[in-house]
Amino acid sequence: MRAGRPLGVAVIGYAFMGKAHSQAWRTVASHFEVPDFERTVLVGRDAEQVAGAAQRYGWAESATDWREVIARPDIDVVDICTPGWTHAEIAIAALEAGKHVLVEKPLSNTLQESEAMVAAAAAARQRGVVSMIGFNYRRVPALAQARKLIRDGRLGNIRQIRASYLQDWLSDPEAAMSWRLRKETAGSGALGDIASHAIDQIRHLTGLDVADVSARLKTFVPERPGPGGPEAVTVDDAAWLTLGLRGEAAGDGGAIASVEVSRVALGRKNSLRIEVYGSAGALAFDLERLNELEFLDGTDPVEEQGFRRILVTEPEHPYLSAWWPQGHVIGWEHSFTHQIRDFLVAVDEGTQPSPSFEEGLGVQAILDAAERSAASGGAVVVPASVPTKQQEA
């Protein structure tokens, strides 16, 4: 581990998420007070391609063997942006080597792998090693503001939540086969890919936990063009979940959430919409308008009630004092910058950030219950999750 030098950072993976995380590492120190670090190395399997990506993204060097990189004494932080089926092996090895670890969601593809990652993180924590899972939408300022309103009691007891995450990038049946459409590499389809975000938001915003799951999965396009001809799609294109919720914020009666996700919803590009209805108020958010939050105060006189639009760009809103003058909107990529900021502060202070691997395991348990419910046609009970400290955004 370092002694009087900047943190050495390695990002493993240089495609979509590797690029998003690299952008965050490039911008975070320009806007936030964070410990000194160096963008040391970008890791990928193809030497030529990862070298080109490292040059474009601003990394000092590139490498192709993540094991060798993890063993290097100049590397203190490992940021894992590879497909889910590789997460457990890389993260456990990095934690055992004493590296601080950030890993993209979902935690892994299986409940068993996630449990092994949690055990490794808990052991590393005893040695002062920090770990975090990357649910970046927690760091969208409007959603962080929504959480504050809920936690301040402005909605009263939570009764009902509607969450949908709709995309259309697979709506064309001629869209090519990829690792995301094979169960052995992706684990699941829209369920693990984007329902994981919706489930994490439900739990994070409200503080409620999931008691039971009823689910249905659907594959609308069962075959896709592969390099050798048509290949069977072995994951879901869309999923529908009903969640029974328990916790103090719901009162004695509990609450219900509905979750709908799809990668074939024609016309929806990246629409994560969340609506929360309580006894004293309600709010709504849509990622395609990520600087806005809709809020209704149910304690207003009935003749004055109605959803009002809050433009979340004021310096008093979460994270925004570091960016532009009020009214100047930010974008999707800023959520990753905020995520890196929070992670680095935790590393510097020796505190454990949220979401922890335990919280990621909680989401994985719900995804596992959803798959079992879809297979059986009945509701599946979810065991109470391990309590974890929630870090305020």
Q: Per residue in 297-335, pLDDT tens?
A: 999 999 999 999 999 999 999 999 999 999 999 999 999
* Start and end residues for every CATH 3.30.360.10 domain found in the chain: 140-330+354-381
**What percent of the chain has a predicted confidence (pLDDT) above 70?**
97
Q: Please report, in angstroms and rounded to a whole number, the separation of the first and last CA atoms in the chain.
A: 28
Q: Mean pLDDT of all residues in the chain?
A: 95
What's the rounded Cα separation, in Å, for the pair 254 and 245?
6
- Per-residue pLDDT band for 389 (boundaries 50, 70, 90) equals very low
Helix (H) or strand (E) holding 147: helix 141-151
Is the CB of residue 82 less than 8 Å from the CB of residue 69? no
Among 64-68, 77-81, 247-251, name the one with the lowest average pLDDT: 247-251
* Start and end residues for every CATH 3.40.50.720 domain found in the chain: 7-136
What's the rounded Cα separation, in Å, for the pair 190 and 207?
24
Tell whether the model's pLDDT for residue 386 goes beyond 60. no
Taking only the tens place, the pLDDT of each residue in 23-67 is 999 999 999 999 999 999 999 999 999 999 999 999 999 999 999
| Helix (H/G/I), strand (E/B), else coil: 9 | strand
* CATH number for the domain running over 7-136: 3.40.50.720
User: Nearest-CA neighbor of 234 among 174, 182, 178, 185?
Assistant: 182
Query: What are the tokens at 244?
Result: 């029974």
What's the rounded Cα separation, in Å, for the pair 130 and 128?
6
* Between 304 and 252, residue with greater pLDDT: 304
Tell me the Cα Rg of the chain.
21
- Rounded to two decimals, the pTM is 0.95
User: Nearest-CA neighbor of 113 among 133, 86, 131, 79?
Assistant: 86
Tell whether the model's pLDDT for residue 4 goes beyond 90. no
DSSP 283-316: EEEEGGGTTEEEEEETTS-GGG---EEEE--STT
Pick the CATH number of 140-330+354-381 from 3.40.50.2300, 1.10.10.10, 3.30.360.10, 3.90.1640.10: 3.30.360.10
State residue 390's pLDDT score. Answer: 41
State residue 3's pLDDT score. Answer: 65
| Residue 140 vs residues 127, 208, 322, 366: alpha-carbon distances, Å | 31, 20, 14, 23
User: Which amino acid does the sequence have at 37?
Assistant: F
Is the CB of residue 370 less than 8 Å from the CB of residue 242? no
State residue 388's pLDDT score. Answer: 40
State residue 251's pLDDT score. Answer: 85
Taking only the tens place, the pLDDT of each residue in 108-153 is 999 999 999 999 999 999 999 999 999 999 999 999 999 999 999 9
Taking only the tens place, the pLDDT of each residue in 201-225 is 999 999 999 999 999 999 999 999 9
State residue 184's pLDDT score. Answer: 92
Task: Report strand pairing: 77-80 vs 100-104.
Answer: parallel
- Per-residue pLDDT band for 252 (boundaries 50, 70, 90) equals confident
Tell whether the model's pLDDT for residue 385 goes beyond 70. no
